[in-house]
Amino acid sequence: LQADKPRHIRALDQDVVNKIAAGEIIVAPVHALKELIENGVDAGSTAIEILVKEGGLKLLQITDNGHGINRDDLPILCERFTTSKLKAFEDLSTIGTYGFRGEALASISHIAHLTVTTKPKESSCAWRANYSGGKLVPAKPGQSADPKPTAGRQGTQITVEDLFYNVPARRRAFRSASEEYAKILDMVGRYAVHCHGVAFTCKKHGDTSMGISTPANATIVDRIRQIHGAAVANELIELKNEDDRLGFMAQGWVSNANYHVKRTMLLLFINHRAVESSAIKKAVEQTYSAFLPKGGHPFVYLSLDIDPRRVDVNVHPTKREVNFLNEDEIIEQICDKIRLSLSTVDSSRTFMTQT
């Protein structure tokens, strides 16, 4: 190679492009799982079961009882940018589903062995299909790649095996399966608290007991009790706040001044999507610092509904962060509300001990 000459610019192979994109969207098993949970909820499921082997690197299986996928759609299911949820770019501003880019299944099929078994209500049987690199592939060499009829209940089962098998550098970066499983339990726990009307189970292959199990009709406080324990569930105060000018509604349950832990537990949902926000976390911690002993932190479950026209969900490949208008003002209002509740509870406690 000559250093003094520019090298020719060439287009990358589509296959390479897809693999690179997949690695950005699915950084760890938990990201694949999050997409699959969201698909299950988008499909109107009332029960979602998750099975995990080796932190999700060996196996991630998620079974739902939603509306299923039409047999005729199976050939393009895992192509990039095929979706039943979005038609025009403008629709992004009113999107009510989690998915919209049609990238999740495509991405997974580029970096794992993917099997889909699905049965819509009207279908007389279930259909099973295997995918690799966005396309249907035979289950075994020599067989046809066409979806095969099989027995099955209504809904969809997605099986992801050997994640990152063809991205060795990424695969090697995962040192501990239990660390990945902890991330998975954390994510399932978030959706299990938030998704009212959906029963969740999650377990490790070989375990007899469930890592997480919540019934469909439990209240939010009961879900928090099951997943995070009675100690916090008994010390929660409800949070409700609405502002038409800022176009948002906040709902949640936050721990009172009797409760504190070493690290803040923030379960944050913006328009029903589990997201992270260092700005909200910082503001909440600041608010609580006036009420908790030094080094003590709160539990906060916060669900924000923001006018979709004010939210940009498309800023991050993993959709982990979202941008919204008037962020500072909205955060300030919520924290004012928390402060008010904490001081009210605080004074009632003082009052009670005095009498």
The binding site for ligand ADP (CB under 6 A) comprises 35, 39-40, 43, 64, 66-69, 77, 83-85, 99-106, 156
User: How does DSSP classify residue 7?
Assistant: P
Nearest CA-CA partner of 73 in 14, 21, 129, 25: 129
Region near Mg ion per CB under 5 A, out of 36-44, 166-174, 272-280, 314-322: 36-44
Q: Determine if 39 is a binding residue for Mg ion (CB under 5 A).
A: yes
Q: Which is nearer to ligand ADP, 69 or 233 (CB)?
A: 69
Contact of residue 100 among Mg ion, ligand ADP, none (CB under 5-8 Å per partner type) = ligand ADP
- Smallest gap from Cβ 174 to Mg ion, in A, equals 23
Distance CA 103, CA 124 (A): 29
Cβ pair 49, 63 in contact under 8 A: yes
Q: Give kind and range of the element (H or E) at residue 336.
A: helix 327-354
Residue with tokens 């409760």: 259
Amino acid, res. 80: R
Site for Mg ion contains 99 (CB under 5 A): yes
CA angle 140, 141, 146 (to 5 degrees): 65
Nearer to ligand ADP, 158 or 270 (CB): 158
132 binds, among ligand ADP, Mg ion, none (CB under 5 to 8 A by kind): none
Q: Which of residues 167-186 bind Mg ion (CB under 5 A)?
A: none
Strands 236-243 and 212-214: unpaired
CB of residue 41 vs ligand ADP: minimum separation in angstroms? Answer: 9
Q: Which of 54, 37, 125 is nearest to 319 (CA)?
A: 37
Which of the ranges 103-111, 159-167, 242-250, 347-355 carries the binding residues for Mg ion, by CB under 5 A? 103-111
**Rounded to whole angstroms, how far apart are CA atoms 293 and 103?**
45
| Closest separation in Å from C-beta 226 to ligand ADP | 24
Q: Is 104 in the site for Mg ion (CB under 5 A)?
A: yes
Q: Which residues bind Mg ion (CB under 5 A)?
A: 39, 99, 104
